[in-house]
Structure 1
Amino acid sequence: MKWSLVDAKREAGVIFAEARDGTAQCPEPLRDMLQKLIDRCDPSVREGGSNYMTYLLPIWVGEEAGIPASLSRDFAVGSVYMMLHYFLLDDVMDGEEMDFGPKASLAAGQLLHTMFVERYGRHFNGSAGLWNYYYSYTEQWSTAVSQEGIRQAEPRNAIGLALKSAPVKIGAAAAWLAAGKPERIPVAEQAVELALASLQLADDWADWQEDLTAGEERSNAFLTLARRALDLPEEQQLTEKLVRRAIFHYDALDKLTVLIHDHRCSLSGLGEAPPGLVGFQQAVLEGVEADVQSIRQTASNLAAQGGFSHFVSNSLK
C-alpha cells in the first residue's frame, strides 16, 4: 500500500466507521460524546489535515509482515481509540477540553483506552509481550509531556521529537508480533520515529504563531530554529516580527526542511520501511517544501516591488 491521499481517506473512512460502531454499547451520555468525537476526527468526511500515520501504520506494517488484512484492520481501529484517548488527555492538560469539560473528557478518554486495550488484546491471548512494548512507549510519552515547556525543544534530535507520539509505535510492534517476527520491531520503531519526527517539525512550523502567543516557545522546535537563526540571547524575548525576520532573512524554514530531508534519507537507508510510511513522510516533506517555495515567491515579489527592505526593517520594530 503506497501512500496516496485519496486511498488514505478511503481507508480511514472504513476504519473510523468501524471505530464508531464499536462505541454502540457504551453508556450514555459518553456514547454520544465518543461518536461525535470520532465523526469530528474522521478525515474521510471533512477537509483539512489528519495524522493518517496514527491509524494507518498497522495497515502499512501489516502488509509488510504478511498478516491477514482483517487483523491489521482490528489494530487500526484500536489505534483510533488510542489516538483519541491521548487527544483528550492532551487537551485536558492544555486546558482545552473541546467543549466537553475536563471530567467528561477524562471519563471518555479512559473508556477509549479500555476499548483500545480490548481491541489489541483479543489477538494476543493475554500475552505480556505486546504490553511490555506499550509500557515502554507510554513511559516515553510520559517523560516527554512532563518535560514539555521545561526543556527547549531540540529540532535536531529525531528520537526526542518523536517521544510525544511514542504510543503510535504499538501498531508496528503488534503487526510484527502477530507475524511471529519480533526481531523486526527495532528497525520498525526507528522508521516510525523518523516519520514522527518529521511530522512534529511540520506541525511546529504550522503552529508557531499559536505557540508563541500562548507562551509555549520552548515546546516548539521551529521556534528553537528561529531563535538560533537570529543568534538571539536566551534572555531576549522572541516576538512574531523577529520570527518572520528569521523566516524571510535567515532561512529558518529552509533549515527545518533540511532536517526533514535528512529524516527522509535515514528512512530510505533503513531499507525495510513499508512504502506507505515512506510515502507519508515524503508527503510531509513536500508540504513543507511547498511552503518554502511560497515564501521565496513572496520575497521575490516584494523585492520586485521595492518593498522587501521595508518589510525586513519593519520586522525588527
Structure 2
Amino acid sequence: MDWLHDYEDELRLVFQESRTIISAFPEPLNAQGLSYLDQFNVFKAGSHKNYICYLLPFWLQDKCGLTIPLTRHMSVGNVFFMLYFFLQDDLMDSNELTAAHALPLANLLYVEFLNIYRPLFPADSPFWSYFGRYISEWADSVSGEASGDYFLRDRLRISHKASPLKLTSTAALLLSDQASLITEAEEMIHNVLLTLQMLDDYEDWEQDLEEGNYNCLLSLARCHGGDDGEPLSKSSVKDFIFTTGGLASYAGTALTNHRTLEAFTLELPHLLSFHQVLVKNLQHMAAAIEAEKQLLQSGGLNYWLTKNMNIL
C-alpha cells in the first residue's frame, strides 16, 4: 500500500470533520481557525504538508488493529493538536503575531484535541503520564534550542520539538494492549522527526539565517567553518553547500537515520516508506549539486561560483 495515496479518501473526511468542528467556534475565531486549517490542508494548493501528523494513525492501523472510524477520529485529534502547537511556534517565532490574536484560537484547538482523546483513556491510564512527558520534552526543546546547538550536541532534542506526535503511536499501542512496544515506536519516530527537521531546515536556511533562528544545516556549516565566533554569511553557507559538498554530508546523516530505522524489529512499513522519501529528496538535491560541479570542473568552475554565489 502507498503511504499517502491509499488514504486520500480518508484524509478528505478528516479535513471535512475538522472544518465542521472549527466552523462551530464563536466568531471571529471560526473564520480565523478555518483560515489557519487551510494553511495545512493537504488538498489546498500551496499549503504546508504535515503528512506524518495526519497519516501516522493510518500507518499504525493494521499493526494495532484499529477500526477505520477510530483511526479517522485519532487523525482529526492530531490535526487539532498540530494546529495548537503550530500556533505556539508562530507566536514564539513571529514579531507580527500577538498573543491576543493567537491564544484564544489555540486554546479552543487544544480543548477539541482533549475532547477527542479523553474518552479513549480513563484518568488513571498511563496515556496521561506519557502526555505529560511529551509536553515536557517539547517545552525543554523549544526553550533551549538557540543556545544548545542540538544538531551537534544532542540530536534527540531536535526530535523532541515534535514530541507530542508520539501520542499517536503511544495511544494506538495502548489501545491494542501492546504497551511493550511504546519505547521502540518512540525511537523510530525520533529518527523520522530528525530527518524531517533536517529537510525543513535545508529549505528554510536562508530565512532562518536572516531571522537568527536555529537551523541544523546552518549549525553544520558553522562547524565546518571552524566556528570562530564570526556570524555566518549567506556566501559562506552557499560555499559550504555548493562548493565543499556540505549537502552531501548532510544527506549522509539522513541515510544513517534510515539504516537505523530499518534495524528496528517493529514493522511500520509506511513510516519507513515515508522516511525513505525524505532521505531521497536530500540525496537527489546533493547529487544534483555534485553532478553539476563535475560537469563544470573542466574550465567552468568560475561559472559555477558565479551562478551560486551571486546573491549575497
Whether these two folds match at TM > 0.5 is yes
Q: State the partner residue of 1:246.
A: 240
Q: State the partner residue of 1:135.
A: 132
**Separation (CA, whole Å) in 1 of partners of 2:95 and 2:18:** 24
Alignment of 1:126-205 (within 5 A): 126-155=123-152, 157-205=154-202
Mapped pair 1:19 → 2:18: yes
1:35, distance to aligned residue in structure 2 (A): 1.5
Counterpart amino acid of residue 217 in structure 2: F
Mapped pair 1:54 → 2:71: no
1:148, distance to aligned residue in structure 2 (A): 1.9
**Separation (CA, whole Å) in 1 of partners of 2:129 and 2:67:** 23
Q: Is the 8 A contact 1:245 1:312 kept in 2?
A: no
Paired residue secondary structure (2:39)? helix
Q: State the partner residue of 1:226.
A: 221
Per mean C-alpha deviation after superposition, the further-off stretch among 291-300 and 72-81 is 291-300
Q: State the partner residue of 1:214.
A: 211
Q: Is the 8 A contact 1:58 1:171 kept in 2?
A: yes
Q: Is the 8 A contact 1:58 1:73 kept in 2?
A: yes
Q: CA 1:291 to 1:93, structure 2 compared with 1: closer, same or farther past 3 Å?
A: same
Q: CA 1:301 to 1:10, structure 2 compared with 1: closer, same or farther past 3 Å?
A: farther
Deviation sequence 1:183-212 (CA, Å, 0-9, x none): 111111111111001101111111111111
**Separation (CA, whole Å) in 2 of partners of 1:313 and 1:289:** 21
Per mean C-alpha deviation after superposition, the further-off stretch among 132-141 and 220-229 is 220-229
Counterpart amino acid of residue 178 in structure 1: L
Alignment of 1:296-311 (within 5 A): 296-304=290-298, 306-308=300-302, 311=305
Per mean C-alpha deviation after superposition, the further-off stretch among 288-297 and 193-202 is 288-297
Q: Is the 8 A contact 1:153 1:220 kept in 2?
A: no
Unaligned runs of 5+ residues in structure 2 are none
Q: Is the 8 A contact 1:155 1:161 kept in 2?
A: no
Per mean C-alpha deviation after superposition, the further-off stretch among 47-56 and 196-205 is 47-56
Q: State the partner residue of 1:38.
A: 37
Q: State the partner residue of 2:68.
A: 69
**Separation (CA, whole Å) in 2 of partners of 1:314 and 1:204:** 19
Q: Is the 8 A contact 2:242 2:308 kept in 1?
A: no
Q: Is the 8 A contact 1:9 1:43 kept in 2?
A: no
1:8, distance to aligned residue in structure 2 (A): 5.1
1:94, distance to aligned residue in structure 2 (A): 1.1
**Separation (CA, whole Å) in 1 of partners of 2:286 and 2:47:** 20
Per mean C-alpha deviation after superposition, the further-off stretch among 156-165 and 77-86 is 156-165
Per mean C-alpha deviation after superposition, the further-off stretch among 33-42 and 263-272 is 33-42
4+ runs of 1 displaced by more than 6 Å?
Answer: none
1:156, distance to aligned residue in structure 2 (A): 7.1
Q: State the partner residue of 1:90.
A: 89
**Separation (CA, whole Å) in 1 of partners of 2:300 and 2:2:** 45
**Separation (CA, whole Å) in 1 of partners of 2:195 and 2:304:** 34
Q: CA 1:313 to 1:204, structure 2 compared with 1: closer, same or farther past 3 Å?
A: closer
Mapped pair 1:270 → 2:264: yes
Q: CA 1:314 to 1:138, structure 2 compared with 1: closer, same or farther past 3 Å?
A: closer
Q: CA 1:260 to 1:11, structure 2 compared with 1: closer, same or farther past 3 Å?
A: farther
Q: CA 1:227 to 1:109, structure 2 compared with 1: closer, same or farther past 3 Å?
A: same
1:96, distance to aligned residue in structure 2 (A): 5.3
Alpha-carbon RMSD across the aligned residues, in angstroms, is 2.4
1:124, distance to aligned residue in structure 2 (A): 1.8
Count residues in correspondence. Answer: 311
Higher relative contact order (CA 8 A, sep 6+): 1
Mapped pair 1:259 → 2:256: no
1:97, distance to aligned residue in structure 2 (A): 5.8
* TM-score (normalised: structure 2): 0.92
1:271, distance to aligned residue in structure 2 (A): 2.4
Q: Is the 8 A contact 2:134 2:166 kept in 1?
A: yes
Counterpart amino acid of residue 105 in structure 1: A
Q: CA 1:35 to 1:259, structure 2 compared with 1: closer, same or farther past 3 Å?
A: same
**Separation (CA, whole Å) in 2 of partners of 1:57 and 1:96:** 32
1:139, distance to aligned residue in structure 2 (A): 0.2
Paired residue secondary structure (1:237)? coil
Q: CA 1:76 to 1:122, structure 2 compared with 1: closer, same or farther past 3 Å?
A: same
Per mean C-alpha deviation after superposition, the further-off stretch among 20-29 and 106-115 is 20-29
Paired residue secondary structure (1:67)? coil
**Separation (CA, whole Å) in 1 of partners of 2:173 and 2:107:** 27
Unaligned runs of 5+ residues in structure 1 are none
**Separation (CA, whole Å) in 1 of partners of 2:161 and 2:249:** 22
Deviation sequence 1:54-92 (CA, Å, 0-9, x none): 121122113211121211111110000000000111101
1:47, distance to aligned residue in structure 2 (A): 3.8
